[in-house]
């Protein structure tokens, strides 16, 4: 009987394709919005998580200046770090595996007649240890190169591709600000970070080479610290803060003129922001589903009035009230599920396109699709019940007389 009813309702809907589509538009939009939001939200979360693990697990970044995103602002209070700071952190703070001193600049490198702009980082092999990164070709820095600040460089895979177009760069020489620099290695590919930047587009040189030949001062503008997995990053972060305050002579009431960023914290903050956004937009989608449900109720009431005679005939030939109720309820649910399926398809399509524009990975989530499907069916039940009950309560004699 249920099978017959479903078949009947599909036929009724097919007879009024245009009207059915317009009726379920609200549900389509609501479901599509939920799917888009959740898919993009999960994609963002996934890429943030991926970028954090790409940076290396248990990473702290220490910058001069007030806490905040982006490059440290060059205010009067900014005081860069020294080699002594790095050594002190490595030796005195428990839980620190390595602290990599860094100086970075955005510069253009030239190979032959190819120009390419990228980040130039001065550091030493501790940076590769902290990021768990190795060369794909060539080698890392030798101790003498680090000590002497030799003009050698290791390229990220994207930079290598841009400058040498697939050729082997090891042994070649590139120029950075007129400084000839011998390529000794190419790094393994890390891929995009969740913040939308290409992690493989960089040139790494020995710290002293960048300090002396490029920036012209012996300061360190960033420390990249890898924490022993046996320690809490928050504890280590607190120890580093205490040490640096002491070394920089900041009193008990003074504010920090440096910041320690815990990448895990940054990730969870970004994730929670995207969670809040997803929640807000899902609420909008919920309103759309409500409006869609009212649309279905409206059209079902019209349908009951239009088909009063049919209801009369059915009752006369022996349909029970609950069978008529079921028929119209199934019709409403079929409509809303039809809308739900359209919405899921539309939502996945929009999420795929939108994800490409926003460079957010497409995360296929069957659970949310199942929830959207069930929810659209529930909208059908909730808003189809009232019209269906009205149909079921018709008096067959009156219904048969209806013109």
Partner 1 sequence: MASPLIQFRGVTKRYGSGDAAVYALRGIDLIINRGEFVAVMGPSGSGKSTAMNVLGCLDTPTEGTYEFMGLDVGKFDRDQRAMLRRYYLGFVFQGFNLLPRTSAVENVEMPLVYRGVAAGERRKLALAALAKVGLADRATHDPNELSGGQQQRVAIARAIAARPQVMLADEPTGNLDTATSNDVMKLLVDLNRAEGITIVMVTHEPDMAAYAGRIIHFRDGRIVADGPKAEAA
Q: Which is nearer to partner 1, 223 or 391 (CB)?
A: 391
CA-to-CA distance for 252 and 31, rounded, in angstroms? 55
Please tell me whether residue 252 binds partner 1 under the rule CB under 8 A: no
Cβ–Cβ under 8 Å, residues 300 and 13: no
Please tell me whether residue 10 binds partner 1 under the rule CB under 8 A: no
Instruction: Give min distance, CB of 295 to partner 1, in A.
Output: 24
- Please give the backbone phi and psi of residue 118, each rounded to the nearest 5 degrees, phi first: -160, 175
Q: Which is nearer to partner 1, 90 or 310 (CB)?
A: 310
Which tokens hold the place of 251? 């009193």
Q: Which is nearer to partner 1, 309 or 356 (CB)?
A: 309
Which tokens hold the place of 2? 């249920």
**Which residue's structure tokens are 């009067």?**
76
Instruction: Give min distance, CB of 337 to partner 1, in A.
Output: 22
Q: Which stretch binds partner 1 (CB under 8 A): 26-34, 236-244, 383-391, 392-400?
A: 392-400
Instruction: Give min distance, CB of 403 to partner 1, in A.
Output: 9
Site for partner 1 (CB under 8 A): which residue of 309, 349, 352, 374?
309
- 366-392 and 263-306 helices, crossing angle to 10°: 20
- E strand residue ranges, 321-370: none
Instruction: Give min distance, CB of 393 to partner 1, in A.
Output: 10
In terms of Cβ atoms closer than 10 Å to its own Cβ (0-12, 13-18, 19+), residue 403 is exposed
Instruction: Give min distance, CB of 21 to partner 1, in A.
Output: 19
Applying the rule CB under 8 A, the residues between 47 and 106 that interact with partner 1 are none
Residue 287: other Cβ atoms inside 10 A: 12
Q: Which is nearer to partner 1, 208 or 314 (CB)?
A: 314
Instruction: Give min distance, CB of 192 to partner 1, in A.
Output: 56
Please tell me whether residue 1 binds partner 1 under the rule CB under 8 A: yes
CA-to-CA distance for 354 and 366, rounded, in angstroms? 19
How big is the chain by its Cα radius of gyration, in Å? 32
Count of residues engaged in binding partner 1, rule: CB under 8 A: 20
Instruction: Give min distance, CB of 365 to partner 1, in A.
Output: 39
CA-to-CA distance for 205 and 202, rounded, in angstroms? 10
Q: Which stretch binds partner 1 (CB under 8 A): 188-196, 310-318, 339-347, 380-388?
A: 310-318
Running DSSP on this structure, what letter comes out for residue 125? H
Applying the rule CB under 8 A, the residues between 313 and 342 that interact with partner 1 are 313-323
Site for partner 1 (CB under 8 A): which residue of 65, 312, 343, 384?
312
Please give, one letter per residue, the 3-state secondary structure of 291-319.
HHHHHHHHHHHHHHHHCHHHHHHHHHCCC
Would you tell me which residues interact with partner 1 (CB under 8 A)?
A: 1, 4, 15, 309-310, 312-323, 396-397, 400
């Amino acid at each position: 009987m249920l099978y017959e009813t479903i078949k009947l309702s599909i036929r009724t809907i097919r007879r009024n394709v245009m009207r059915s589509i317009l009726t379920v538009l609200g549900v389509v939009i609501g479901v599509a919005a939920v799917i888009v939001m959740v898919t993009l939200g999960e994609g963002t979360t996934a890429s943030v998580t991926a970028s954090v693990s790409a940076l290396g697990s248990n990473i702290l970044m220490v910058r001069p200046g007030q806490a905040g995103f982006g490059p440290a602002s060059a205010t009067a209070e900014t005081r860069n770090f020294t080699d002594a700071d790095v050594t002190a952190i490595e030796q005195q703070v428990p839980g620190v595996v390595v602290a990599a001193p860094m100086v970075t600049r955005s510069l253009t490198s030239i190979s032959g007649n190819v120009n390419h702009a990228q980040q130039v980082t001065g550091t030493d092999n501790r940076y590769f240890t902290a990021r768990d990164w190795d060369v794909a070709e060539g080698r890392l820095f030798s101790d003498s190169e680090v000590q002497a600040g030799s003009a050698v460089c290791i390229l990220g895979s994207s930079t290598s591709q841009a400058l040498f177009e697939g050729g082997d760069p090891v042994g070649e020489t590139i120029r950075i600000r007129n400084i000839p620099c011998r390529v000794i290695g190419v790094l393994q590919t890390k891929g995009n970070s969740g913040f939308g930047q290409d992690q493989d587009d960089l040139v790494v040189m020995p710290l002293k080479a960048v300090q002396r030949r490029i920036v012209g001062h012996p300061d360190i503008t960033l420390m990249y610290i890898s924490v022993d997995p046996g320690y809490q990053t928050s504890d280590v972060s607190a120890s580093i803060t205490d040490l640096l305050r002491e070394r920089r002579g900041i009193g008990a009431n003074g504010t920090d003129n440096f910041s320690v960023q815990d990448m895990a914290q940054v990730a969870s903050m970004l994730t929670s922001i995207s969670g809040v956004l997803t929640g807000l937009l899902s609420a909008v989608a919920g309103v759309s589903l409500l409006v869609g449900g009212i649309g279905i109720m409206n059209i079902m009431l019209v349908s009951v009035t239009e088909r009063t005679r049919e209801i009369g005939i059915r009752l006369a030939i022996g349909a029970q009230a609950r069978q008529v109720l079921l028929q119209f309820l199934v019709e409403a649910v079929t409509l809303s599920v039809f809308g739900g399926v359209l919405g899921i398809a539309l939502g996945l399509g929009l999420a795929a396109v939108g994800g490409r524009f926003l460079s957010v990975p497409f995360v296929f989530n069957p659970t949310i699709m199942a929830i959207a499907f069930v929810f659209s069916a529930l909208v059908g039940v909730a808003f189809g019940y009232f019209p269906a009950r009205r149909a079921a309560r018709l008096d067959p004699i009156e219904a048969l007389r209806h013109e």
